[in-house]
Amino acid sequence: MNFIRRGTMAIGGSIGRLLFPPVCPGCQAALTGAGTVCPECWPKLRFIERPFCEVLGLPFAYDLGKGFLSAEAIAEPPPFARLRAAVIYEDLAARLVGALKYSDRTDLVPLMAGWMQRAGAELLADADIVVPVPLHSGRLWRRRFNQSAELARRIAREAGTAYSALALRRVKPTRSQVGLGASQRQENVRGAFKVVDPRRPEIQGRRVLLVDDVYTTGATTASATRALKRAGARDVDVLVFARVAGGTA
C-alpha cells in the first residue's frame, strides 16, 4: 500500500509540475525547481550576514568585535532581547513581502520561512514557543489570512518548536503603519496587544520567539513584546523576514 501511495503521489506531483511549472517569484521566469529565485533575481536580495548588531541585527560594514552594538541599540534599547532578519527590506525582498501580504501568494511561505529559519537559528535554539504578531479580527476577516502566522507556523513546524497562534491578540483596530512616522507608529500600536488570560500559561516563564514579516521602526514588535512580558514571558526574541537597513528601533 505504501508503494502504491508513493507512486500515486509521484504521478500527482509530476502532473502538477506539468500544469503549474515553477517560476521565479521575482520575474516569473521558468525554473527547474520550486523554492528558489532565478540567477538574475538572486543578486537583488541582500541577505544579512555577520558582522551585525547583536541586538538589532543591523549589518555592519566591517567587523567591530564580538558583542558590538549599533548606535540605534545603544541610544534606544528595545524591549526584546535580540532581533534577526533574513534580508534587507528593499527591491525584491519588498516585492516578496507585498506579494505574500496583499496578493495571497502563500506559495512563497516555504521559501521565505526557510531563509528566516536560517537567519534565526540561534533564536530558535533558545525558544520555548513561537508566536506570530497577530492581525486584528476585522483586518484578518478582510485579508483572510495572517502572513506572519503563516511564516511562524512553518518555522515552528520545521524547527520542532511549540507554536501558538492565539496566545497574543491584537485588541485594538490600529491603522495601517504604512506612511506613518516613527512617533505616529508608536502611538498607533500603543496598547494594541494583549495575552488573554486562558493563554497565559503558554507564555509565563518561557522564552518567546515573536515572528513578523517586516521590521521598520520597531513600534509593532515593541508593543507586542511588552504585552508578552506583562503576561510573564521570561524574555522575547524577534525574527522577521526583512528589516530596513537603518533607522530608529
Please tell me the least confidently modeled range out of 29-33, 121-125, 208-212. 29-33
Q: What is the DSSP secondary-structure string of 8-40?
A: HHHHHHHHHHHHS--B-TTT--B-SSSSS--TT
Model pLDDT, residue 67: 78
Annotated domain spans of the chain: 1-38, 45-243
Q: What is the mean pLDDT of residues 195-200?
A: 94
Higher-pLDDT residue of 28 and 215 is 215
Pairwise CA distance, residues 122 & 57, whole Å: 12
Model pLDDT, residue 129: 98
Confidence label for 177 from pLDDT (cuts 50, 70 and 90): low
Question: 114: helix, coil or strand?
Answer: helix
Model pLDDT, residue 123: 98
- The distance of Cα 75 from the centroid of its chain, to the nearest Å, equals 25
Pairwise CA distance, residues 228 & 215, whole Å: 18
* Distances in whole angstroms, Cα of residue 242 to Cα of each of 90, 120, 141: 8, 12, 25
Among 133-147, 196-210, 234-248, which range has the highest average pLDDT? 196-210
Query: CB–CB of 210/131 below 8 Å?
Result: yes
Q: What is the DSSP secondary-structure string of 134-173?
A: PPPHHHHHHHSS-HHHHHHHHHHHHHT-EE-SSSEEE-S-
Q: What is the per-residue pLDDT across 38-83, written as a single tens digit (0 to 9) for each? A: 999 999 999 999 999 999 999 998 887 777 899 999 999 999 999 9
Q: Which among 160, 151, 165, 159 is positioned nearest to 110, based on CA atoms?
A: 151
Model pLDDT, residue 10: 39
Q: Is the pLDDT of residue 13 over 70?
A: no
Model pLDDT, residue 5: 45
Model pLDDT, residue 182: 62
Higher-pLDDT residue of 196 and 232 is 232
Model pLDDT, residue 6: 47
First and final C-alpha spacing in the chain: 55
Model pLDDT, residue 3: 44
Question: 207: helix, coil or strand?
Answer: strand
> Is the preceding omega at residue 78 within 30 degrees of 0, hence cis?
no
The verdict on domain 45-243 having CATH code 3.40.50 is yes
Model pLDDT, residue 247: 45
Model pLDDT, residue 186: 61
Q: What is the mean pLDDT of residues 93-119?
A: 94
Q: Compute the mean pLDDT over every residue in the chain, rounded to the nearest whole number.
A: 85
Model pLDDT, residue 19: 44
